[in-house]
Structure 1
Amino acid sequence: MTAAAPSSETLWSRCGGCAALLYRKRLRRNLDVCPECGLHARLAAPERVDQLVDPGSFRALPDHVVEVDPIGFVDALPYPHRLAAARTDTGLSEAVLCGTATVGGSPCALAVMDFRFLGGSLGCAVGELITCTAEQALTAGVALVLVTASGGARMQEGALSLMQMATVSQAMAALREVGLLTISVLTDPTYGGVAASFATSADLVLAESGARMGFAGPRVIRQVTGRDIPAGFQTAEFLLRHGQVDMVVPRHALRARLATLLAAVASPTTIRSGVTAPPPDAARPGRPLRSPARDAWETVRLARHPGRPTTLDYLETTFDGFTELHGDRLGGDCPAVVGGMAQLAGRHVMVIGHQKGHTTAELAARNFGMATPAGHRKALRLMRLAARLGLPVVTLVDTPGADPGFEAEEHGQAAAIAENILTLSMLPTPVVAVVTGEGGSGGALALAVADRVLMLQHAVYSVISPEGCAAILWPGRAAAPQAARALRLTAPDLCRLGIVDEVVPEPAGSAADDTEATGRAVRHALLTNLLPLMEVPAVTLVQRRRQRFRRFGAARAAAPAGAR
């Protein structure tokens, strides 16, 4: 579908997508992306390296690999003849170009595949080169970036080429074990054994606009199923919708996006702000806000106000930058959960939050902030990634509850929530949760098993909605205001119970009246609570978190309200 980029001597080029005749110099200035239809032409590995890394920073790794013809394969030509022809045509010794470089000043090890060389196929030499690059990343303690373009494993090397999937994956596992970031950039096409191993097992998977990726290619699918391929199938945009990639990035933005992601783990940073560690009494749980209490039902209505700031609003007002990551890698990308890397006063953190919306259309598109199993699993993936990279986790809770629909049950909603709670119970990195609006049942707790739990002044947090409680224990939903008072779901109530550690003040009226001021208050509270946690060893952190929730046992629950 996508033609290889023409040689530099060609004055004119015809686009393989819209057939427009393009002046070659103009096309090159546009990074070989058609200015008429946006088609991304395939790039040779050296061209790709030039576009991605800082000028003059690339240092190629030795590529003196042993000649490989393990099974004496011959089709129309002997395999060695095909290798010789590919080397002559591309100027490369193999289908991958490996080295070290910097991107936006951040060091990394880099392996870039070249589809011109026998379809970018994964053979023993390619596997060895990529494995050596991963080992170089491990030795240097830097991130690994893989740019894939491949039809799959190299048939001419038989089962030995299949083994390269495991060889490279093991090298990546070693990086994961020590907390070094791996990033895969999918380009067109990425299929077969490459897609089913290192291309999709990286910590972060980016797809260049228009790239196609899958295990089985279109020809194989048609042969096996006898069906036509639907439009847009296996494209980058298709993969994003189905939770397979973190983001789709146009070619002109790839370097900047990689630079942002690499900067998050390139070197440790410290929080910079005027906030100092809180005094000992401020670090104890149960610090209420001294302000006139509102009626519980009125607070419920304020917590649900459509003008109340959402997670995306806080990412604009509370944090200094945000790169959204998508997908659970299992088939879905729930819009009710937003997550990704952000900065907070110079420190990179992982932010995960429920997302509602302000209009009816936004609320419907975000499923009213009710996470599906895919949303909980996306959050789980990002929590685990944060732990591997040593990033603190900040969660923003605002949901009426988890999605209660048929499809959610079919996809294991209960198990997804349970796995999040279990993982947060042993996550070896600081976790601060902020209940910003509604904290509804297990859907809220799936993001709120934290070292410190903060709550906005007019937020609510409860085992069930007042309406649900009234329908079960009262004559009907009309008793919701009475149920709200009985549930003790306001921030002052929960502070007295020790469930919430601190109440974050809201502007006069409520958070809906001043998003900017609310964002600043949340920022201050996060910095105040996160600073002490950064100094706690991981083992101690987990022990204290478990002790925090252990105190909600039967003995405490049985104590009279006045004794708590």
Structure 2
Amino acid sequence: MSAGAAAGAECRWTACPECRVPQFEEHFREASRICPVCGHSARLGARERLAALADPGSVHALEAAEVAHDPLGFADTRPYPERLRAARQDTGLEEAVLCAEVTVHGRPAVLAVMDFAFLGGSLGCAVGERITAAAEHALATATPLIVVSASGGARMQEGALALMQMAKTSQAMAQLDEAGLLTVSVVTDPTYGGVAASYATLADVIVAEAGAHMGFAGPRVIAGTLGQTLPDGFQTAETLLAGGLVDDVVRRGQLRPVLARLLGAASWARDGRPVPAAWRETRPELVRDPDQVPGAGGDPWQAVALARDPGRPTTLDYAACLLDDFRRLRGDRVAGDCPAVVAGLGSADGVPIMLIGHQKGHDTRELVASNFGMATPAGFRTAARLMTLAGKLGVPVVTLIDTPGAYAGVEAEAGGQAHAIAANLRLMARLPVPVVAVVTGEGGSGGALALGVADRVLALSNAVYSVISPEGCAAILWRDAAAAPAAAAALRLGAADLLRHGVVDAVIPEPAGGAHHDPALTGRLVRAAVTATLRELIALDPGALLAARHRRYRRFGAGVPAPPPGEPTVSSERSRA
């Protein structure tokens, strides 16, 4: 037999579990078991997953403590010890999880990877001990923890002791929260039961691999016990994303760079919060004299029209200008994902930034899809969740305000709209990191302020900011919608008046004709203003930041200048009404 024939005889073939097309096993394995024909991601073993995520040569296994292997003396059709021996022989693993110190693109992490092939990735005493020990090692070394889950649930053969592992591992995750250490959960297919109801969903960031399924009860259990017909896409990664239960859905080949980006954000504060040299040389165009604001003294109603122009850049547009590598994070982990709020992590010249902003759109389709920039409670809770994460990691927060107001529909009221806004105001008042807010267009009512409690508030020169829209004010006080221009003048909602009253700290001049005439230049102007402002704030310790922020908001309403004589005020119009 020739050498070529011998090599061919030794080739092992496999088939894609989805499309059934035959593949060379070696090639399939080298491609991380992603089918080149249909794109399906087949299940990976723990060793394969570890190799795919960690830098080569960086894996240092963590020691595992001994636990009771058969605490109940359990037997079904086979004794439990016999099942364990078979699982170890079949997988080459001691248990259903591998834990190691690794680096991902040079960033250190503790990585715990589950293997579904080992008794369905079930959570028993040994798995719970290993996950907990990995979290404790992360705590001791001040290292982020990444858990890759694949499990059918708690291990039945260990009874209530398996159930207790849910509490044990959740307690370990809470210790990492208290220490300010990043935790990331990578949900792979499948993730169910006790694992889904403990550490897999307690992480700061939950990334679902494309094609994954996650839930507490599996579809067969639900259909069999309750007789319910399950909807299409039930418990899929994409459905979980739309429901606000995971931050992102990522294809297998992109998991490693996504994790590296998160690890990079987590390391910045621990590296001493370095400020890039480029920021020290930035000289932004900021106006601090109300009389020098472009358009000062002009028609306020015209300013409203400019602020609402659909051509103005949106938060997603600004994200591309402000940040070098923005990655959107989504969902409130309770009720949904709000299209009117865009949030995520990125960096500017190496400084990580949590960017959160209202999202409108440039045409009718986009405006409808984003609910015209009117956030639901889910949007405000998503913002709160990610601001809390920024505070935990020591990462600055930048918010972009552009909304006619919070959504006032029945669903929003039933979902606790007022509670969600109030919670954000309290949270932002005590957030221990620099916060910069920029009013980029329309700042409407509490829906705007829910992202606006900041150390510095900037506004574009054609932006407006008010307690109510001119139309709403006219309808209530003038009882005439046609009085909206008069209401706009009375509300003093333009950038010059906002600066005069100290509502904003500085104004960013827009290009001639407005931001929509040169969005690229507008983006550069906003980036320069934001980075220069952050440069000042990063130097302050959290105590000084919080004290100054408290003083900023404490002074409002004390000694506010009266409007010039002869001009109507909202209060005088109310008394006439």
TM-score by length of 1: 0.94
Residue 396 of structure 1: SS of its match in structure 2?
A: strand
User: 1:390: how far off?
Assistant: 0.4
Q: Does 1:510 pair with 2:511? A: no
SS in 2 for 1:88: helix
Task: Give how far 1:23 is off.
Answer: 3.3
Shift of 1:218: 1.2
> 8 Å contact 2:511–2:522 — kept in the other structure?
yes
- In the TM superposition, what are the counterparts of 1:101-120 in structure 2 within 5 Å? 101-120=102-121
Corresponding residue number in structure 1 for 2:43 = 42
Contact kept in structure 2, 1:241 and 1:332, CA below 8 Å? yes
Is contact 2:67–2:125 with CA below 8 Å preserved after alignment? no
Q: 1:204 aligns to what?
A: 205
- Equivalent residue runs for 1:251-330 within 5 Å: 251-267=252-268, 268=271, 269-276=273-280, 289-293=292-296, 294-330=298-334
Rate the CA distance shift 1:469–1:290 in 2: closer, same or farther, 3 A.
closer
Q: Deviations over 1:355-409 (max 9, x none)?
A: 1111110111011111011000000000000000000100000001011111111
CA deviation map 1:301-330 (0-9, x unaligned) = 000111101111111112222011011000
SS at 1:363 equivalent: helix
In the other structure, the counterpart of 2:554 is 550
Q: 2:498 aligns with which of 490, 494, 497?
A: 494
2:574 aligns with none
The answer to whether residue 495 in structure 2 is matched with residue 485 in structure 1 is: no
> Equivalents in 2 of 1:528, 1:287: separation in Å?
20
Counterpart for residue 123 of structure 1: 124
The equivalent position to 2:562 in structure 1, one of 550, 560, 563, is 560
Aligned match of 2:434: 430
Moved more, 48-57 or 472-481: 472-481
Contact 1:327–1:378 under 8 Å retained in 2: yes
Residues 138, 376 of structure 1: alpha-carbon distance in 2 compared, 3 angstrom cutoff: same
- 1:514-563 CA distances to partner (integer Å, 9 max, x unpaired)? 1111111111111221112112221221122111111113x334x53469
- The equivalences for 1:11-160 within 5 A come to 11-160=12-161
C-alpha distance in structure 2 between counterparts of 1:133 and 1:325, whole Å: 25
**Distance of aligned partners of 1:529 and 1:17 in 2 relative to their CA distance in 1, 3 Å threshold:** same
Q: 1:366-377 maps to which residues of 2 (within 5 A)? A: 366-377=370-381
1:150–1:194: 8 Å Cα contact kept in structure 2?
A: yes
Q: Distance in 2 between matches of 1:145 and 1:274?
A: 33
**CA separation of 1:10 and 1:187: change in aligned 2, threshold 3 A:** farther
Residue 274 of structure 1: CA displacement? 3.8
Q: Do the aligned residues in 2 keep the contact of 1:286 with 1:501 (CA within 8 Å)?
A: no
Question: CA contact under 8 A between 1:435 and 1:456: conserved in structure 2?
Answer: yes
Structure 1 CA distance for aligned equivalents of residues 384 and 218 of structure 2: 30
Whole-angstrom CA distance in 1 between matches of 2:485 and 2:287: 32
1:233 aligned partner, one-letter code: F
State the AA in 2 paired with 1:80. Answer: P
- Could you say what secondary structure the match of 2:139 adopts? helix
Change (3 A) 1:384 1:289: farther
Question: For residues 338-371 of structure 1, what are the alpha-carbon distances to aligned partners after superposition, in whole Å with 9 as ceiling and x for unaligned?
Answer: 0011112221010000011111101110111110
Letter matched to residue 95 of structure 2: E
Q: Which residue of 1 aligns with 2:340?
A: 336
Cα distance in 2 for partners of 1:42, 1:520 equals 44
- Further displaced range: 89-98 or 537-546: 537-546
The number of residues matched between the two structures is 552
**2:391 maps to which of 380, 387, 408:** 387
- After TM superposition, give the deviation of residue 473 of structure 1 in Å: 1.2
CA deviation map 1:244-275 (0-9, x unaligned): 11100111111111111111112434232444
Partners of 1:90 and 1:10 in 2: CA distance: 21
Report the 3-state secondary structure (helix = DSSP H, G, I; strand = E; otherwise coil) of the residue aligned with 1:427: coil
Provide closer, same or farther for how the CA distance between residues 278 and 258 of structure 1 changes in structure 2, counting only shifts above 3 A. closer
1:430-480, CA deviations, whole angstroms, 9 ceiling, x for partnerless residues?
A: 111000000000000000011110000000000111111111111421111
Structure 1's 278 and 106: CA in aligned 2 closer, same or farther, altered over 3 A? Answer: closer
- Alpha-carbon contact 2:282-2:528 (below 8 Å) kept: no
1:74, distance to aligned residue in structure 2 (A):
1.0
- Whole-Å separation in 1 of the counterparts to 2:423 and 2:71: 45
Contact 2:65 2:129 in 1 (8 A): no
Distance in 1 separating the partners of 2:327 and 2:212? 21
Taking only aligned residues, the RMSD between alpha carbons, in angstroms, comes to 2.0
Q: Does 1:352 align with 2:356?
A: yes
2:535 pairs with 1:534: no
- The answer on whether the counterparts of 1:456 and 1:506 sit within 8 Å (CA) in structure 2 is yes
Contact 1:44 1:114 in 2 (8 A): yes
Asked if 1:468 is matched to 2:472, the reply is yes
Partner SS for 2:400: strand
Distance 1:406 1:10, change over 3 A: farther
After superposition, the Cα gap between the structure-2 partners of 1:254 and 1:321, relative to the gap in structure 1 and judged at 3 Å, is same
Q: CA deviation at 1:166?
A: 1.2
Change (3 A) 1:496 1:223: same
Work out the CA distance in 1 between the residues paired with 2:282 and 2:276.
Answer: 15
Counterpart amino acid of residue 212 in structure 1: H
Structure 1 residues 358 and 273: alpha-carbon distance in aligned structure 2, compared to 1, 3 A threshold: farther
Deviates more, 1:531-540 or 1:204-213: 531-540
CA distance in structure 1 between the partners assigned to 2:339 and 2:37 by the alignment: 31
CA distance in 2, matches of 1:191, 1:49: 21
Residue 284 of structure 1: CA displacement? 12
Residue type of the partner of 1:136? H
Provide the secondary structure at the position in 2 that maps to 1:433.
Answer: strand
Segment of structure 1 superposing worse, 365-374 or 267-276: 267-276
1:334 to 1:10, Cα distance in 2 relative to 1, 3 A: farther
Alpha-carbon offset, residue 206 of structure 1: 0.3
CA distance in 2, matches of 1:244, 1:288: 48
Secondary structure at the residue paired with 1:232? coil
Amino acid at match of 2:316: L
TM-superposed CA distance for 1:133, in Å, is 0.8
**Match of 2:201, SS?**
coil
Question: Who is 1:5 aligned against?
Answer: none
Letter of the 1:505 counterpart: P
2:153 aligned partner, one-letter code: G
Higher alpha-carbon deviation: 26-35 or 91-100: 26-35
446-455 or 217-226, which deviates more:
217-226
Alignment match, 1:3 = none
Partner of 2:445: 441
Measure, in 1, the Cα distance between the counterparts of 2:492 and 2:261: 43
